[in-house]
Amino acid sequence: MISTAASPIPFSAKTQLKFHRTHDTLNVNPQIRRLKFTIRCSSSTSLREKSEEKSSSSADELKGGKDGEFLKSEKGDLVDFLPPIKVAKRVVLVRHGQSTWNAEGRIQGSSDFSILTQKGEAQAETSRQMLMDDSFDVCFSSPLIRSKRTAEIIWDARKEEIITDADLREIDLYSFQGLLKHEGKAKYGSAYRQWQIDAANFIIDGHYPVRELWERARNCWSRILTHESKSVLVVAHNAVNQALVATAIGLGTEYFRILLQSNCGVSVLDFTPQPEGGSPSICLNRLNQTPNSPIAAGSSAGRKASTRIILVCHGISQSVAEDSIPHSGDGSMNMLGIIQAQKTAELLLDLKLKTVVSSPKIASTETANTICRVQEAADCLGADCVPRYVEMKEIGDLDIEHILRKSKKDAPALQAFQPGWLDGFDKEVTTSLWSQSGKAWKCLLAELAAGSEEENVLVAVGHPALHIAMLGHCLNLTEEWIGTFHLDAGSISVVDFPDGATGRGIIRCINYTAHLGRWSIPITRPTSDDENF
């Protein structure tokens, strides 16, 4: 059954859309560059992005400061806008499968002229199988054909309703819509260039599409979170799913194209009510779990990326039950950990690795050694092959477990399978963790910059807490975000660098576990306390 939260809107690729308000308060002098800070508002009628003007002499300074350091987002600059909730909610976002215009390289925007390709239908079927054992209370869908069809395939025989919401449509690109990418470049020149390198300030036909998209995403969260449901499926599009993730965790329009959403990629957000009321706590449980391999060759935010860091969480160790911290790596891996390490090594076989770096902890070094051995063995299957050596380095800066053990809080409060579990540590512990992870991230960037191969890939193995904090440094966040991300043992997260090791990192996926097969943690169902979801 399909109902609508708003009336469907007819879209045209050639006719300028008329149903948007022009945000006069957002008009800017084109001679002045602006650094965007998102302000969370409590009123849904005044959900505006406020701008703090920062003069800059070049687009490069807008993106980054001196010595390639990017301007940091401050969580303190945000005002909560999400409505309070009474029970925990899990929201699963899925991008539609490949469409005919995706395949053609045509700019879709919010036009409604493309349908799923055969590959897109197959991707949606894979997502259906991935989610078939999960119970959802409701499904929200974009009204556009490609997303509605994907939602119907995933929803299958479920009897609960599918609600179409016009605000879940793809980003409105006005005159760009319907053009092939080379046509857009030829016809619009500088405007198309700005769309590529400075999308947050991109303007066309008197509109700022990315800013409008962020406002729509906030409006969507108000309806999704106030719906009487505990588990929600949302099927929409690339840009709008990016905006939903970003606005939920408090990131502004400058993060557009930083959190990738592949065709039928799945992202999971956990919302936990606050005892005193107010906006809930948010944790990004995983980002962009795709039907295909996350390390497959391809583009990153539309650009070729051959430089990347792959963060591998070590397998579960035998000491996990007795240790005072979650996912301790002090002991050798147990049987499940060995399987996790082997499955990760098999996933990475498509890459020709030169170096694997690791925390000196036992579980991390065992995981790293497994990856190296499988890489070397794969090149020696023929009778006349020459063995390839994969270097394994232990790096002390990747060890953070001694910091976590300083926590004075009780171990039961630090269950790693709970959303935002790092927030359970003492303030001085998280501050030390943040500082140490910053050193570790700089160490990885230095290792990556030292690589000379055309395909420059660095694999780093360590504790989930370290990788969570390093993802925050990659995104140029502050310590306050440390509980916003979640990683499981045996998972991988991939960061692409389309502009090389000194450029900005693009997050391809976070907490990817599909490679673990039957030993993976279910993509949407919680690992404990089902009553909370």
Is 69 a residue of the active site?
Answer: no
Active site residue 96: yes
Which residue ranges make up the annotated binding site? 95-102, 146, 181
DSSP line for 296-308: SS-EETTEE--EE
Bridge partners (DSSP) of residue 266 are 94, 289
Q: What mean pLDDT comes out for the span 215-221? A: 97
| Contact in structure between 140 and 150 (CB atoms under 8 Å) | no
Identify the pLDDT of residue 150: 98
User: What average pLDDT does this structure show over 439-446?
Assistant: 97
In angstroms, the CA 292 to CA 287 distance is: 14
Helix (H) or strand (E) holding 457: strand 456-462
Q: What's the per-residue H, E or C state across 72-128?
A: CCCHHHCCCCCCCCCCCEEEEEEECCCEHHHHHCECCCCCCCCCECHHHHHHHHHHH
**Residue located via tokens 């860091």:** 309
The terminus-to-terminus CA distance of the chain in angstroms comes to 24
Could you say which of 52, 61, 96, 212 is catalytic?
96
CA-only gyration radius of the chain, Å: 23
Q: What is d(CA 201, CA 194) in angstroms, rounded to the nearest whole number?
A: 8
pLDDT, position 296? 80
The arithmetic mean of pLDDT across residues 469-485, rounded, is 96
Residues forming beta bridges with residue 283, ordered by sequence position: 270
pLDDT exceeds 80 at position 332: yes
User: Cα angle vertex 35, ends 29, 37, to 5°?
Assistant: 120
In this prediction, residue 421 carries a pLDDT of 85
Identity of the residue numbered 297: A
Q: Which of 9-13, 134-138, 212-216, 325-329 has the highest mean pLDDT?
A: 212-216
Structure confidence at residue 3 (pLDDT): 55
Rounded to whole angstroms, the Cα distance separating 349 from 379 reads 10
Predicted local confidence at residue 133, as pLDDT? 83
The string of pLDDT tens digits covering residues 103-133 is 999 999 999 999 999 999 999 999 999 898 8
pLDDT at 5: 53
Q: Any residues with CB less than 8 A from the CB of 522 and at least 6 apart, and which?
A: 133, 134
Buried b (16+ CB within 10 A) or exposed e, 481-504: bbbbbbbbbbbbbbbbbbeebebb
Mean pLDDT, residues 201-211 taken together: 97
Indicate whether 140 pLDDT > 60.
yes
Please give the residue that has the higher pLDDT: either 296 or 280.
280
Q: Are 150 and 264 in contact (CB under 8 A)?
A: yes
Residue 126, token pair as written in the block? 């894979």
Specify the range with the lowest mean pLDDT, choosing from 58-62, 89-93, 334-338, 520-524: 58-62
Candidate from 271-280, 281-290, 393-402, 456-465 with smallest mean pLDDT: 271-280
Known binding-site residues for substrate equal 95-102, 146, 181
Please give the pLDDT value at position 143: 98
In tens, the pLDDT along 352-362 reads 899 999 999 99
Residue listed under structure tokens 């395949």: 103
What average pLDDT does the structure give for the chain? 82
Span 10-15, average pLDDT? 35
Query: pTM value?
Result: 0.85
pLDDT band for position 322 (cuts 50, 70, 90)? low
Answer yes or no: is pLDDT of 302 > 80. Answer: no
Q: Is the confidence at residue 151, as pLDDT, over 80?
A: yes
Task: Please tell me the distance from the alpha carbon of residue 36 to that of residue 22, in angstroms, as a whole number.
Answer: 18
Q: How confident is the model at residue 160 (pLDDT cuts 50, 70, 90)?
A: confident
Residue written as token pair 């050639």: 14
Q: Are 455 and 466 in contact (CB under 8 A)?
A: no
pLDDT tens per residue, range 229-263: 999 999 999 999 999 999 999 999 999 999 999 99
DSSP per position, 59-83: HHHHHB-GGGPBPPP-GGG----SP
How do residues 20-79 score in pLDDT, each as one tens digit? 333 333 333 333 333 333 333 323 333 333 333 332 333 343 344 434 344 455 554 444
pLDDT, one tens digit per residue, over 70-111 is 445 555 444 478 999 999 999 999 999 999 999 999 999 999
pLDDT at 318: 83
Q: Measured between alpha carbons, how far is 423 from 452 in angstroms, rounded to an integer?
A: 39
